[in-house]
Amino acid sequence: MLLWINGPFGGGKTQTAHEIRRRLPGSVICDPEYPGFGLHRMLPPALRGDFQDLAAWRQGVVEVLDLALTRHEGVVIAPMTVTDSGHFAETVGRLRELGHDVRHFTLLAERATVLRRLRERGFGHLLGSVLGNASPRRESWAVQRLDHCLERLREPEFAEHLWTDRTTVPKTADRIAVLAGLTLRPNHEGRLRTRLRQAGVGIRHIRLD
């Protein structure tokens, strides 16, 4: 089974994926961002657009996830924002055509909630400007794309939709597990330990280019 966790940038996809992996024995995370950033680094900076527009990314993601789903016995988790219908068909849709059990979930939240989460992730100096104090010299990709993501991902084609404004990452993981027919280990982690572990996940996923 593949759990594809969609949602806006800063919407909690990566944290939820790691929470499920932590509590679901045998599961693995196969992050489609990795080949995307690799393709970016192959190009001169002036040519670096949205790596999802590259057919090499879409085909590569399908090939790698197909291999993982075929050879790995446990659940595979892919946290990745996809808002383009064509790209969605060429990745999630194509994997379903290949016969894989793909469960797709979109994590949604109100704009203010996502902005707060981005601020907590370390973009506060940018977000203060975005929210009205001044115009940043370089807006973050996440903030630039936020309104587009929230609008597109509300569409029916990107269901199952899970609203996360008033819930925690462990509870979101629980909801996904129930909808996918999976059983997670109980979450006995305290609040402080959870925050420290999630901070570690966030640090490991900081992108410098």
Q: Using only C-alpha atoms, what is the Rg of the chain?
A: 17
Instruction: Provide the pLDDT for residue 121.
Output: 65
Query: Residue-wise pLDDT tens for the chain (209 aa)?
Result: 999 999 998 889 999 999 999 999 999 999 999 999 999 999 999 999 999 999 999 999 999 999 999 999 999 999 999 999 999 999 999 999 999 999 999 999 999 999 988 877 654 444 444 444 433 433 477 788 899 999 999 999 999 999 999 999 999 999 999 999 999 999 888 887 777 777 777 666 666 55
d(CA 145, CA 25): 34
Alpha helices in 24-168 (DSSP H): 33-42, 55-71, 85-88, 94-97, 111-118, 124-130, 141-153
Count of beta carbons in the 10 Å neighbourhood of residue 192: 8
Return the bridge partners of 6, or none.
Answer: 106
Q: What three-state secondary structure class fits 182?
A: coil
Place of tokens 């909808």: 179
Instruction: Provide the pLDDT for residue 136.
Output: 40
d(CA 79, CA 124): 23
Instruction: Provide the pLDDT for residue 126.
Output: 43
Phi-psi region of 163 (alpha: psi -120 to 50; beta: other; left: phi over 0): beta
Sign of the dihedral defined by the CA atoms of residues 137, 141, 144, 146, in that order = negative
Contact 71, 26 (CB under 8 A): no
Instruction: Provide the pLDDT for residue 29.
Output: 98
Count of beta carbons in the 10 Å neighbourhood of residue 125: 10
Beta-carbon contacts of residue 58 (< 8 Å; ≥ 6 apart): 52, 87, 90, 91
As to burial, measured by CB atoms within 10 angstroms (0-12 exposed, 13-18 middle, 19+ buried), residue 195 is exposed
Instruction: Provide the pLDDT for residue 116.
Output: 86
**In order of start, what are the domains of the chain with their CATH numbers?**
2-110+156-204 (3.40.50.300)
